[in-house]
Structure 1
């Protein structure tokens, strides 16, 4: 039975799972959510996600939700047969990947998500004016974060030196900043960060995911 992914087609949470599937070379079926009420039913809440959210992944009889948990499940189960190593077997190397994953969750993703929400959802989708104060504060925050990333990435193509799950999770928000906002300068003016983001966007799995 093919892997099924239930989710809205465009949001970062769905696409980070799609990117993981593509990196691992796994075939899957995307079941797009076109009506939000379909994920608020009693059946969906009881059997798919207790908070009525997506993405949800179904692999045979196994059901798992929350995008980062889904990605880790896929890596744990299928990486051994893939051409890419997203989380190394070596415990020290794996711990460093987890360290950078924590950076992404705590420092990188929150300000970028605020910017993407204002620019993509509020302005482009809903056609309403953005909250300039929110965007300004988020830009100031991410600038400080990227200053640190610029130092981390000195002499390296990827965060640990080799492509990993940590890099993968950073890719999505960066793509939205480039594609849907005028703020790509936050990456472009930092040579090491610029090179890193370019490396992420040039991967075959990335191009397939965000085509």
Structure 2
């Protein structure tokens, strides 16, 4: 059985959400953040970097949420949340998975820490975030999800950064992306995930 080590207010919600989507049995171990908003030391017993999420599946220990999502969907989900390998759709889906933590994360995290520290996001990061929101908005113009009408790993992957953007107060000026986030969090399996892991973000 898979064990998920999930840090409070973290990307671990992605992993639990996919497992709930698949109806897969798992054990969940939640860890609270420290007062400094750090992972607790005991997570280092599971991974040398002390990061989360981390899963254990037999003798496999795996970190990095995109890698975990791909592994679980392939091993337990028959790749139901990924396009067919070798297709253009699969390549674009991989692009979205990498986009989230590659192109998108930097400006979202900058906005998050500006909010927590009572400051303002620097202009360069603000402009970068606006460009990303415009790109997402154009993509979602006639789509329910990033790849069309079906929930995919990329949608699960992006959910954490959308929650972070909402917390930081920078999502609301972008109605198409806000509507997309509202569609995602209305999905019963994400609601069930939040019941188990706690909220994705602290109260604003």
In the superposition, the TM-score normalised over structure 1's length comes to: 0.77
Count residues in correspondence: 187
The corresponding residue for 1:3 is 2
Structure 2 residue runs without a partner (length 5+): 35-39, 196-204
SS at 2:24's partner residue?
A: coil
Contact 1:116 1:173 in 2 (8 A): no
Task: Return the offset for 1:90.
Answer: 4.2
In the superposition, the TM-score normalised over structure 2's length comes to: 0.79
The corresponding residue for 1:126 is none
Task: Return the offset for 1:184.
Answer: 3.1
The corresponding residue for 2:145 is 158
Of structures 1 and 2, the larger Rg is shown by 1
The corresponding residue for 1:183 is 170
Report the Cα distance in structure 2 between the residues aligned to 1:74 and 1:159, rounded to whole angstroms. Answer: 20
Report the Cα distance in structure 1 between the residues aligned to 2:81 and 2:160, rounded to whole angstroms. Answer: 16
Q: Deviations over 1:109-128 (max 9, x none)?
A: 22112222343xxx3xxxxx
SS at 2:77's partner residue?
A: helix
Kindly tell me: are residues 206 and 139 of structure 1, through their superposed partners in 2, closer, same or farther at Cα, counting changes over 3 Å? farther
Bigger share in helix = 1
Task: Return the offset for 1:87.
Answer: 0.9
Runs of 4+ aligned structure 1 residues displaced above 3 Å come to none
CA RMSD of aligned residues (A): 2.3
SS at 1:7's partner residue?
A: strand
Report the Cα distance in structure 1 between the residues aligned to 2:91 and 2:170, rounded to whole angstroms. Answer: 32
